Amino acid sequence: MTSLDTTLAALRASGRKALVPYLVGGVSDDWLDHVRAAVHAGADVVEIGVPFSDPMMDGVVIQRAADVSLGRGTTPQSVLDDVATLDVEIPLVVMTYFNVFHHMGVTRAAGALHSAGVSGVILPDLPIEEQGEWRASCTDVDVATINMVAPSTPPARIEQIAKIAQGFLYASARMAVTGAASDEGHALDVVTRSRAVSDMPIYVGIGITTPEQAAAAARIADGAIVGSALVQRVLEGQGASGVEAFVGELRRAIDAG
């Protein structure tokens, strides 16, 4: 069991529903202030995207933010160097693509994540059958590998994923890339089928756009992940104050049930 498992299990036991905002690393000079603002506004975990030139899961908004970040000279190591300077009391989780860490070298990458204070990592393009070396290297340094469950994932596959799950299960509400949506998608079905085989905390993401949708996701799961709607505000230049205001709205909606 990793430290992230322990922390998130305790969070669930307290009765609090998790709020996980997503921000893109290196998107601006003050991007670390965005993280601090999200924490101040009530985030329980912050997911930090390491920009990659050829993403498979990111929609238009997050791709645009990644392009801005890469254009500023951001690298995986520069993001981790920045993250290492953060002094926050909640877990930080990195989301990127395996090619980034394969290029760094698996052992080196796991060590860099640990040194930066990262508690977990999401790699949507790394299937569980190919996670052996990666998971072993990360477990050695107390970094959780977080896996995803999609509406199309069959029951037997969910059970396989649940057996090796760390941190939380990322329940994708829809078969789509990240981005705004007007409904809750297939969140209830994905959560129900995941809970049938796992006691791991389950957080719903993909398409959660409004405080109302975040509250709805938290009612059926253990937490909600909000990315594109927040990143859009960053791209509009709303800065840390805009991040804090929106995350605060999400927090109040979730807490109100």
- Which residues are tagged catalytic? 47, 58
- Total Cβ atoms within 10 A of residue 105: 12
Residue 176 sits at the vertex; the CA angle it makes with 136 and 67, to the nearest 5 degrees, is 75
- Total Cβ atoms within 10 A of residue 63: 21
What three-state secondary structure class fits 20? strand
* 179 CB-near residues (< 8 Å, 6+ apart): 59, 60, 61, 62, 207, 228
What three-state secondary structure class fits 228? helix
